[in-house]
Amino acid sequence: METAVYSTGGQELRKINLDDAVFGLKINESILWYAINNELANKRLGTACTKDRGEVHGSNAKPYKQKGTGRARRGDKKSPLLVGGGTVFGPKPRDFSYKMPKMAKRLAVKTALSLKAHTGTLKVIEDFEIEDGKTKNLFGILQNFGSGERTVMVLNENESDRERVKLLKRAGRNIPWLSFLSASRLRVHDLFYGRRVFVLETAAKEICEFYAACQNRRNVKVREQA
């Protein structure tokens, strides 16, 4: 698919071609749901914890005799039926994370990118840098595209661009509605819920090359198996 490359001032500079295998897929809602739930589950700490009757602080002595009082039988004061007693089947620390198949995860990322490209909320911007790392300079650039909405910016974090990316992230640290993603570590949740997705030109090329190479390796394996 052909898309425009915009300058930091918001003007259209030129056209580039993006791989249809990455930005032009049919929208698969189920794979998006699966990937987003996987990412949210992997982020859960799972630290919720309650005490059962064996962990609650209290005496083990029988509060009153077994028979003759007319009351219900009580073994101790830590019974779950009493105030201050233990919790029955309460949560315990656990790991909620689970693995998602690699092919399904890559398909989800490509589907999210295709969704944003189809809806027109994905824009490719020329590579730029914030030399002094100041927020006002980056905020001025974002205002040229409209500001205030949840925005995701995809960067190319190669070894040669490390210092430039560091200053760019420093400039965006105080903008609450702006978040950054690396072209090599895309998250479906951020892409899906971002109202606007800005992809730097080198990052767009890296995304196309990476997922196209993955697709080619997959096709080679399929032919070998056949």
Tell me, yes or no, whether 68 lies in a domain: no
Q: Which pLDDT tens digit goes with each residue over 5-52? A: 998 888 888 898 888 888 989 999 999 999 999 999 999 999 999 999
Q: What is the mean pLDDT of residues 54-69?
A: 91
pTM for this prediction: 0.82
CA dihedral 141, 144, 150, 151 (to 10 degrees): -50
C-alpha–C-alpha distance, residues 102 and 219, integer Å: 15
Q: Is the pLDDT of residue 97 over 50?
A: yes
Tell me, yes or no, whether 171 lies in a domain: yes
Q: Given pLDDT bands bounded at 50, 70 and 90, which one contains residue 216?
A: low
Q: Given pLDDT bands bounded at 50, 70 and 90, which one contains residue 222?
A: very low
Tell me, yes or no, whether 36 lies in a domain: no
Q: Answer yes or no: are the C-beta atoms of 122 and 113 closer than 8 Å.
A: yes
Tell me, yes or no, whether 70 lies in a domain: no
Write out the residue range of the structural domain in which residue 186 sits.
2-28+100-225
Tell me, yes or no, whether 215 lies in a domain: yes
Tell me, yes or no, whether 176 lies in a domain: yes
Q: Which pLDDT tens digit goes with each residue over 29-40? A: 999 999 999 999
Q: What is the mean pLDDT of residues 69-74?
A: 92
The rounded mean pLDDT for the chain is 88
Q: What is the CATH number of the domain that holds 149?
A: 3.40.1370.10
Tell me, yes or no, whether 33 lies in a domain: no
Q: Which pLDDT tens digit goes with each residue over 153-211? A: 999 877 667 888 888 999 999 999 999 999 888 999 999 999 999 999 989 989 988 88
Tell me the three-class secondary structure of 49-98, residue by residue: CCCCCCCCCCCCCCCCCCCCCCCCCCCCCCCCCCCCCCCCCCCCCCCCCC
User: Could you give the number of structural domains in the chain?
Assistant: 1
Q: Is the pLDDT of residue 87 over 90?
A: yes
- Residue 159 pLDDT: 65
User: In the chain, helix, strand, coil percent, each to 5?
Assistant: 40, 15, 45
Tell me, yes or no, whether 185 lies in a domain: yes
Q: Given pLDDT bands bounded at 50, 70 and 90, which one contains residue 69?
A: very high
- Residue 163 pLDDT: 83
Q: Answer yes or no: are the C-beta atoms of 84 and 58 closer than 8 Å.
A: yes
